[in-house]
Structure 1
């Protein structure tokens, strides 16, 4: 990882540091930088090839199926907004209250937001009941779960607040049983564990390059082609058309990823993201996972040993999770604690509600009740680890919190 010596970065969940593979890929391509899909010269042809190879590499990394589209976007928020624009008329979207704003705000009115469940099994029960109600047959019509407007389930794979993992494959099976599709926000899971669209049997998946060690402004939406090819272009402009005539409405839009990638694409972002995907695909992900889990256990056990520090969680303390922990220091303002950690100890953590306000506020209330505290601040702190994190970083944070608390 690239980084600044002496600084302890424990804010990977917001933006991960740049991987050397991403920086090297960008540096190698920069002398050749030119237009994509728009020129016959050697530079343009090389850049077009690099862009489409990047698309293939990202698709391979995510286990896409034949016929799936890989659409480059700016980030997860952009990708999910694109999908929201592509929904067939009348689609009902079912989400949970534990989502990031990117998976709460883009969906149309009339969407269903289920409460945060007490555990993963509760999520399956709640979704099954909700979809059963939505798919209840009309007594006057054919008794088929496939009847009625489309339904899309939209769920995170790992919480950006607590790091807890959601049972995506099991949720997908519930959705299938009711004839619904499922979209997954993999922004927090993909940097920590393999994600395979085909194995999970999900219809759509979105992620951000800046959380996957490729902070060059690219994200991706992958998934089934039919809704994407039938929808109006996400952006209208050059590159998204196959024909534009003289008349105002004489336009034929492209099919495939180009339909939603109007304008000059983010070549360097796509190439950087693909380089990281390739590097991770070649790495020993199991060993990386074990190392991260050891650091995560050390961090959580250290926080639990500190007086007045309470961890936020949705499920039980043993629920599977990635390297993200949110917590509060009783009697201390979280913004002030974060500022002191930065100023006095060169430690960077996140403070606030983490673009998941409904969930974070609920968890703060639950932490106060669980700990019998009435002096918790209105916002939380979040420490998140990644490939560049070390035991020394975790111990430095714990020692600093002990001094501040």
Structure 2
């Protein structure tokens, strides 16, 4: 059965993604190829991932202890997925792979296992800023060199149990030197968890080589948008902590309950200790397939070329400013965030979508403390363009040209804030192309890791 559900090289190009030829309507009535430059928020499925899930669907059944053939197949797929994801992040032999819903879920799970305070920087996504129950938030300095010096001092004085850092900023794409940071933390007796949601879709992650203790990431950032994330790392904290959720699948045995409703429970060790309930088998299989395909598809040099053209083009436009955290950073993934003088970020994003068929992100990207420092715009928000598999140089040029036209001529349509978001007025585009009905009421504020 392994052969039936294994990766199938040759079925599609490793870098092909679903929706690559999607055409979207403009307010002018035209249809154009969609330029998806919002990959840092959520990435489309790799074609290989979608095909793998389709192959698995006929076998979908319960896992663990099921006697049926399909159940045994799915159990094997789930447990093999752990091994595949572990290899993808360079897990050590005794590390645990726990499936979660996403990066936020993984970090909150770990928060319940940490036996002490947590130190983190103020540049973090809210998932890695708010999950921790105690500890301190350290303001990042204007250079990486100074930030490392401040971290070294804080580690020695605060004596945290854990240092939580981002692998790549979801706002600017800038990378921190993870091996050096891990060495600083270990020297102070602290462990390190890396939020790799933005790093893993662009660069190899090797926790064994760097010494990182825990890593968290999301399938929906990794071209496997099937509702699964993962926490990978050292077993000891996970084995003694209270289960993340109490329920079936997380126990070895239950006796009772007595007349007071209490029961004697023997909890399973990790990973099952923290995976109560029916697991997301399809999501785990999708993530594992992405982890098999991605190493051969990633091209940091190609992304660097696209990023260079994007930043050079944006900086050539009067009144456009790209954002950075550290003046001495030299390594980045393909994420650029910018502001346009005199134009609210939401208006810029709505214009790019409605008049040019370009998808970007606007707002504060669930990194409010960081945006408050670096955006310098009237509304405190910015526009983010994020590149990845399937992004072409034409997509980059389309964005630069569209922003240039906005600055020179202004929008060609009327826009207003509707239900809390900038929108074209009127908007003649079909809001329900799938025929499932349109939502009512104000939209929930978007986040985007």
Corresponding residue for residue 143 of structure 1: none
TM-score normalised by length of structure 2: 0.82
Corresponding residue for residue 95 of structure 1: 120
TM-superposed deviation, 1:376 = 4.5
Alignment of 1:44-83 (within 5 A): 44-83=71-110
1: CA distance, partners of 2:344 / 2:214: 39
2: CA distance, partners of 1:289 / 1:28: 31
Corresponding residue for residue 387 of structure 2: 385
Flag the 1:54–1:313 CA change in 2: closer, same or farther, 3 A.
same
Q: Is the 8 Å Cα contact of residues 175 and 329 (structure 2) preserved in structure 1?
A: no
Q: Is the 8 Å Cα contact of residues 144 and 328 (structure 2) preserved in structure 1?
A: no
2: CA distance, partners of 1:268 / 1:119: 43
SS at match of 1:104: helix
Corresponding residue for residue 335 of structure 1: 346
Flag the 1:317–1:383 CA change in 2: closer, same or farther, 3 A.
farther
Corresponding residue for residue 304 of structure 1: 315
Count how many residue pairs are aligned between Structure 1 and Structure 2: 376
1:353-384 alpha-carbon deviations (Å, 9 max, x no partner): 0000000111113xxxxxxxxx7542100000
TM-score normalised by length of structure 1: 0.91
Corresponding residue for residue 163 of structure 1: 173
Corresponding residue for residue 117 of structure 1: 141
2:259 counterpart of 1:245: no
Q: Which of residues 209, 223, 235 in structure 2 aligns to 1:213?
A: 223
1:229-282 alpha-carbon deviations (Å, 9 max, x no partner): 00010000000000011132310000020000000000000000000100123x
Q: Is the 8 Å Cα contact of residues 161 and 382 (structure 1) preserved in structure 2?
A: yes
Q: Which consecutive residues of structure 1, in runs of 5 or more, have no partner in the other structure?
A: 136-149, 366-374
Deviating above 3 A after TM superposition, structure 1's stretches of 4 or more consecutive aligned residues are none
SS at match of 2:193: strand
TM-superposed deviation, 1:134 = 2.3
1: CA distance, partners of 2:351 / 2:158: 50
Corresponding residue for residue 293 of structure 1: 304
Corresponding residue for residue 140 of structure 1: none
2: CA distance, partners of 1:318 / 1:309: 21
Q: Which of residues 337, 347, 352 in structure 2 aligns to 1:326?
A: 337
Corresponding residue for residue 5 of structure 2: none
Corresponding residue for residue 151 of structure 1: 161
1: CA distance, partners of 2:281 / 2:329: 42
2:285 counterpart of 1:271: yes
2:46 counterpart of 1:19: yes
2: CA distance, partners of 1:169 / 1:120: 14
Corresponding residue for residue 400 of structure 1: 402
What is the CA RMSD across the aligned residues, in angstroms?
1.1
Q: Is the 8 Å Cα contact of residues 371 and 380 (structure 2) preserved in structure 1?
A: no
2: CA distance, partners of 1:14 / 1:76: 12
SS at match of 1:72: strand
2: CA distance, partners of 1:259 / 1:232: 8
SS at match of 1:355: coil
Corresponding residue for residue 43 of structure 1: 70
1: CA distance, partners of 2:130 / 2:93: 30
1:45-102 alpha-carbon deviations (Å, 9 max, x no partner): 00000000111000011100011100000000000000001112xx010000000000
Q: Which of residues 224, 228, 236 in structure 1 aligns to 2:238?
A: 228
Question: Larger helix proportion, structure 1 or 2?
Answer: 1
Q: Is the 8 Å Cα contact of residues 227 and 283 (structure 2) preserved in structure 1?
A: yes
TM-superposed deviation, 1:113 = 0.7
TM-superposed deviation, 1:116 = 1.5
Q: Which consecutive residues of structure 2, in runs of 5 or more, have no partner in the other structure?
A: 1-16, 24-32, 408-449
1: CA distance, partners of 2:285 / 2:143: 38
Q: Which of residues 6, 14, 18 in structure 2 aligns to 1:2?
A: 18
SS at match of 2:162: strand
